Structure 1
């Protein structure tokens, strides 16, 4: 699956969790990775260190998403880091987490959720296309929340449904340039940041019982799918939402 030497990638929200795993996985394919972070400078530095210790190349870029001029700030750093090179791969991973069910989410929380999860990826793609050559790759992280009715994640699921629709329509628009646009939908994925959630009594067992492959997912499970979509092997895959949940909630538990 190894790609040509010299490709570049921007991974948003790469200071921890799935974003860090994606950055490391792409770097293993000899891709230079731009590690975006919002506030966690230490986490971004740790991602860069992990990539470099493995023999890859990475640079950290700070830009808070969901605020005015977020894309301009991000791409000022991206263009400086690229130094005239193209941007071959974009992975929209950064996202604000669920804020609660209907009645618990404030208007400000709702607006912030959409600003980070929908507006930012849309305009990041728009800006990235000026740097992306024909044959580029655009991958956005969605969620299985779009196909499961979870009242605690209503507004969050709405944002992820929006980027899935965005991916399909942009795949249609950009196909003439050979640019593929896809989304990856993880399920329950345990990371160092959310590990305490899965330590709640009985939760891991409950989720595992609803998962066809009988375990929780990890960041590397998702990163491998992203790396495939970023590779030449996925040249004929576009406009798709790839479920990377291990088969979460495919049907009644037996």
Structure 2
């Protein structure tokens, strides 16, 4: 469960994409606990409605960002439903289907959700936030974007694009009061991990190579999302923050010592 301060986001409206599971769901719950009115979006409407029953004054806007035009439509619907959007959390993403290196099959499907969707939602909402002179955008990246540890080249590339988008939007809209950051998780035990945690010894192996000695959980990421969305991070923008328990740091130390 999130441990973030109650009322840190009171009076603000937050749109969370990919809010039906994993880090997206945890972020939605943490934002709600911090006082924000949450607009939940994702493909699984039934799951979104079930989560919404446990939140305060939520809005549910189902959306499939794989569909062309869905990102822009979602941003406009969120503005209509909430009157304003103070916080955007881009959590929607897929790791599969993956494209084989050198082949185009399945590549467009991954690019659509991991890049086109967040690009369109963030672009439209950044402009709306800038008109009001304030706002915060937090996108989900991955340590795979900068460390070369993912076996999926296409997935890592989409997250690298999210990092570039984050920095560029931060530079463009910072003078108009909009902060833009990203969170780069390491391994997190969620459904998104594709059942890796069920492989005997896998999580123990990851924990053994992590400075904090354990794997990540969705709430570990969600609390950082809330921090970046709140005024506690008022002087933080253009950053991609690793939240991996020291996994990539430890891997680097191991490589240097080998």
The TM-score with structure 2 as length reference comes to: 0.88
- Can you give the 5+ residue segments of structure 1 that lack an aligned partner in the other structure? none
Specify the alignment match of 1:33 in structure 2: 38
- Show CA shifts across 1:166-213 (max 9, x none): 101111111111211000001111125647420201111111111111
Kindly indicate whether residue 14 of structure 2 is the aligned counterpart of residue 9 of structure 1: yes
Q: Find the residue that maps to 2:31 and give its secondary structure.
A: helix
Aligned ranges for residues 112-131 of structure 1 at < 5 Å? 112-131=109-128
- What secondary structure does 1:137 align onto? strand
Shift in CA distance, 67/106, structure 1 to aligned 2, threshold 3 Å: farther
Assess if the C-alpha contact under 8 Å between 1:11 and 1:36 holds in 2.
Answer: yes
Aligned length: 246
RMSD value over aligned CA atoms? 2.0
Please name the residue that 2:87 is paired with.
89
In 2, distance between residues paired with 1:58 and 1:143? 28
Distance 1:72 1:239, change over 3 A: closer
Pair 113,78 (structure 1): closer, same or farther in 2 beyond 3 Å: same
- CA deviation profile, 1:78-119 (whole Å, cap 9, x unmatched): 13321xx2210001110121444744x852411111111111
| Equivalent residue, structure 2, for 1:69 | 69
Other structure's SS at 1:115 match:
helix
Structure 1 residue corresponding to 2:49, chosen from 17, 38, 45: 45
> C-alpha deviations, 1:126-146, integer Å up to 9, x for none?
211343232200110000111
Of 2-11 and 134-143, deviating more is 2-11
Distance 1:180 1:76 in 2: 20
Q: Which moved more, 1:188-197 or 1:163-172?
A: 188-197
CA apart distance, 1:152: 2.0
CA distance in 2, matches of 1:76, 1:69: 11
Question: Following the alignment from structure 1 to structure 2, what is the Cα–Cα distance between the partners of residues 4 and 182?
Answer: 17
Structure 2: 5+ residue stretches without partners: none
Q: Give the conservation status (yes or no) of the 8 Å contact 2:72–2:120.
A: no
Measured against aligned partners, the alpha-carbon deviations of 1:10-54 in whole angstroms (never above 9, x if no partner) come to 00000011000000100111100000012x112211221232xxx
